Amino acid sequence: MAYNKGNNYNRNNRYNRGPRRPRIPEFVLQNISAIDYKQVEKLLWFIDEQGAIRPRRQTGLTAKQQRRVTQAIKRARTLALLSHVSNKHVE
C-alpha cells in the first residue's frame, strides 16, 4: 500500500474550514464602556441556558474584558442578583 502524499485534504481538518468570521463583542455593539455587577441585564448576555459563563470564543471578548465580566458575574451571584443555575424547570 502506497501512501498518497499529494492528497492531504481532509474535510474534517480544522485548517480547511475557510476563513473565520470575526466576532464582534457585545461591548462594541451596545456601546458599553464598562460592565458592573449591578447591571444584571447585561450580564445575562454572557451566561448560557444552564447558567454557565460563556467562554471567550463564543462572546468574542478580549481576555481582559472576559476576566472583568467573569468577576462581575461571580460578584452578582454572591449577592444573589444572579442565580447559580438556570431558572428552567425540568419536566
Q: What's the confidence (pLDDT) of residue 5?
A: 54
Going from the C-alpha of 91 to that of each of 3, 21, 29, 50, the distances in angstroms are 54, 37, 36, 15
Check pLDDT > 80 for residue 54: yes
Vertex 37: Cα angle to 35 and 38 (nearest 5): 100
Which cell numbers hold the place of 36?
Answer: 458592573
Average pLDDT over residues 33-40: 86
In a domain? residue 23: no
In a domain? residue 13: no
CB 25 within 8 A of CB 65: yes
Total structural domains within the chain = 1
Q: What's the confidence (pLDDT) of residue 60?
A: 83
Which domain does 64 fall in, by range? 34-91
Least confident window among 24-28, 33-37, 64-68, 77-81: 24-28
pLDDT: which is higher, 15 or 9: 15
Q: What's the confidence (pLDDT) of residue 70?
A: 94
